[in-house]
Chains A and B, each alone.
Chain A
Amino acid sequence: MIKKLLELVKYKTKYIIPKDEYNSLETRIGGIISDSEELNNIKFHNMEFPPIKNHEKQ
Chain B
Amino acid sequence: MKNNNFSYTSISDLSKLIQNKDVSPVELTNFFIEKLVNEGPSYNAVAHINEKSAIEQAKNAEKSILNNEYLGPLHGIPFAAKDLLATKDGSPTSWGAKPLIKQKFDIESTIITNLKNSGAILSAKTSMVEFAGGMGYQQPDASAFGPGINPWNKSYWSGGSSSGSGSAVSAGLIPFAIGSETWGSILTPAANCGVTGYRPTFGIVSRFGSMVLSWTLDKIGPLALSAEDTNIIAQSIIGKDDNDPYSVKTIYDTNKKLPPNLKIGIPKGIDYNIQNEVKDNFRISLAKLSEKFEIIEIELPDIPTSAATRTILSAEVSSAFEEIFDKGLQTKLNAKETHYSVLSTNTVLAKDYIKSLRIQNMLNEKMNKLFSEVDIIISPVKPKTASQIDENFRWATRKEFNEEHPISLIGAIGNLIGLPAISIPNGFDKNELPTSIHFIANNHQDDLVIKIAEYIQATTDWHNNHPN
Contacts and interface: CB of A to CB of B under 8 A. Distances in A.
A55 B203 contact: yes
B341 A21 contact: yes
Contacts of B342: 28
Interface stretch (B86-94, B353-361, B370-378): B353-361
Nearest to A20: B340
Given A24-B337, A36-B349, A41-B304, A55 B343 contact: no
B344 A28 contact: yes
Nearest to A35: B307
Contact of B202 (A5, A25, A28, A55): A55
Given A39-B352, A41-B304, A57-B443, A51 B361 contact: yes
Interface residues of A, number: 34
B126 interface: no
B341 A24 contact: yes
A53 B360 CA distance: 8
B216 A54 contact: yes
B12 interface: no
A29 B362 CA distance: 26
B344 A32 contact: yes
Interface string A25-58: 1011101101110110110100011111111011
A52 B347 contact: no
Contact of B357 (A12, A38, A53): A53
A41 B248 CA distance: 33
B167 to A, nearest CB: 29
B346 A49 contact: no
Contacts of A29: 344, 347
A15 B327 CA distance: 10
Given A54-B202, A57-B443, A44 B358 contact: yes
Contacts of A34: 307
A39 B356 contact: yes
Interface in A1-22: 5, 8-9, 12-13, 15, 17-18, 21
B364 interface: yes
Contacts of A55: 202-203, 245-248
A26 to B, nearest CB: 8
A29 B346 CA distance: 9
Interface string B323-342: 00100100000000101111
Nearest to B348: A32
Interface in B297-316: 303-304, 307-308, 310-311, 314
Interface in B249-272: 249
A28 B348 CA distance: 11
A54 B314 contact: no
A21 B364 CA distance: 39
A50 B311 contact: no
B418 interface: yes
A10 to B, nearest CB: 9
A42 to B, nearest CB: 6
A5 B347 contact: yes
B357 A52 contact: yes
Nearest to A22: B340
17 contacts: A8-B347, A9-B346, A21-B340, A24-B337, A29-B347, A32-B347, A32-B348, A36-B311, A39-B304, A41-B304, A42-B304, A44-B358, A50-B358, A52-B357, A53-B246, A53-B360, A55-B203
Interface of A: 5, 8-9, 12-13, 15, 17-18, 21, 24-25, 27-29, 31-32, 34-36, 38-39, 41-42, 44, 48-55, 57-58
Given A15-B340, A39-B355, 5 more contacts: A13-B346, A32-B345, A32-B347, A36-B311, A48-B362
Interface of B: 136, 202-203, 216, 245-249, 303-304, 307-308, 310-311, 314, 325, 328, 337, 339-349, 352, 354-362, 364-365, 417-418, 443
